[in-house]
């Protein structure tokens, strides 16, 4: 292994160059600017400009002020990811093992919503969950919701929107890992008198773990930072950190606060991802 790597090394670096240059330009530079902005003197403004004062206080201020939306983002993102995992696993399993010749059609159907804009798809959820809509009326009829109950502008609508919007990001990596599983291994577990359920947990599930890990990451990270769903389907009481950052940046023009909150979110997510990937035992993914 190391022998081949060494032989290919030079070419490897050459091939890495375009991507590294791209990352350098569009990841490192903005990141550096973000870090710098987060430490600017908060007394600055567009009128007077900003001075670098190493204002670490921006971080504690941001945490103190916005810990609630921060926490809410992680909780909502977590719930949406868990729902996506349950829904997505079943779907990906069906596509990989049971769909037969319908496999490609089903995969296209999973991706099809991407052909319309994210915004339009989220807006149409407003129609589905409308106060006088079929769903709310049926739930009221079944007494799940009170007679003046509603779904829009509640956490339910926000989490439903997040789950819906990020489901394909879960399904595709899950499908990719499930599809690669050698069926003979599952057969072998049956031959050894394992109950299908045991076979699933001992064979299929562990072999699909890379898909589970990448799927949950691909879902959780954007879901936790999302601000569209809460803006369209939620109310101010469901505010997530993405919308806080967005309004601090574009409306209040409080760039130091917006930047430090972004950094906090980023560090928090990276830390959670590292712990998660370690625990899931798939460090080689990183």
Contact call for residue 253 and other proteins (CB under 8 A): yes
Taking the C-alpha atoms of residue 248 and residue 261, their distance in angstroms, rounded to an integer, is 10
Asked if 36 touches other proteins (CB under 8 A), the answer is yes
* 284 binding other proteins? (CB under 8 A): no
| DSSP string over 90-120 | HHHHIIIII-GGGHHHHHHHHHGGGGS-HHH
Q: Which residue in 219, 268, 265 sits closest to 246, CA to CA? A: 265
Give the shortest CB-217-to-other proteins separation in angstroms.
Answer: 22
Own/partner long-range contacts of 226-231 (Cβ < 8 Å, ≥24 apart): 226/77, 226/162, 226/165, 228/118, 228/119, 228/122, 229/122, 229/158, 229/161, 229/162, 229/165, 230/76, 230/158
Instruction: Give 51 or 138: the residue with its C-beta nearer to other proteins.
Output: 51
| Contact flag: residue 251 with other proteins (CB under 8 A) | yes
Binding other proteins by CB under 8 A: which of 26, 27, 32, 118? 32
Name residues whose C-beta falls within 8 Å of residue 69's C-beta, 6 or more positions apart in sequence.
Answer: 239, 240, 241, 243, 244
* 131 is a site residue for other proteins (CB under 8 A): yes
Within 173-202, the residues that bind other proteins by CB under 8 A are none
Least distance from other proteins to the Cβ atom of residue 77, Å = 17
72 near other proteins, rule: CB under 8 A:
no
- Can you give the binding site for other proteins, defined by CB under 8 A? 2, 5-6, 9-10, 13, 24, 29, 32-33, 36-37, 40, 44-52, 65, 123, 126-127, 130-132, 148, 150, 152-153, 227, 230-232, 234-239, 243-244, 246-254, 257
């Amino acid at each position: 292994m190391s022998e081949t790597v060494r032989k290919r090394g030079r070419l490897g670096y050459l091939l890495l160059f375009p991507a590294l240059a791209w990352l350098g330009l569009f990841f490192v530079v903005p990141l550096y600017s973000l870090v710098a902005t987060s430490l600017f003197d908060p007394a600055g403004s567009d009128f007077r400009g900003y001075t670098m004062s190493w204002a670490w206080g921006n971080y504690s201020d941001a945490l103190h002020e916005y810990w609630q939306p921060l926490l809410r983002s992680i909780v909502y993102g977590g719930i949406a990811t868990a729902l996506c995992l349950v829904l997505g696993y079943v779907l990906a399993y069906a596509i990989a093992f049971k769909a037969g010749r319908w496999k490609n059609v089903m995969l296209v159907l999973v991706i099809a919503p991407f052909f319309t804009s994210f915004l339009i798809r989220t807006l149409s959820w407003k129609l589905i969950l409308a106060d006088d809509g079929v769903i709310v009326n049926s739930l009221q009829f079944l007494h799940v919701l009170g007679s003046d109950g509603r779904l829009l502008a509640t956490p339910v609508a926000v989490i439903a929107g997040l789950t819906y919007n990020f489901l394909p990001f879960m399904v595709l990596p899950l499908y990719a890992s499930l599809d690669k599983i050698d069926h003979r291994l599952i057969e072998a577990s049956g031959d050894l008198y394992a109950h299908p359920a045991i076979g699933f947990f001992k064979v299929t599930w562990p072999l699909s773990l890379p898909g589970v890990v990448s799927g949950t990451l691909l879902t959780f990270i954007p879901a936790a930072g999302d601000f569209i769903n809460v803006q369209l389907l939620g109310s101010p009481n469901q505010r997530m950190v993405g919308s806080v950052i967005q309004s601090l940046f574009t409306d209040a023009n409080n760039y130091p606060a917006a930047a430090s909150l972004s950094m906090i979110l980023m560090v928090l997510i990276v830390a959670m991802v590292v712990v998660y990937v370690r625990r899931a035992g798939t460090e080689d993914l990183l």
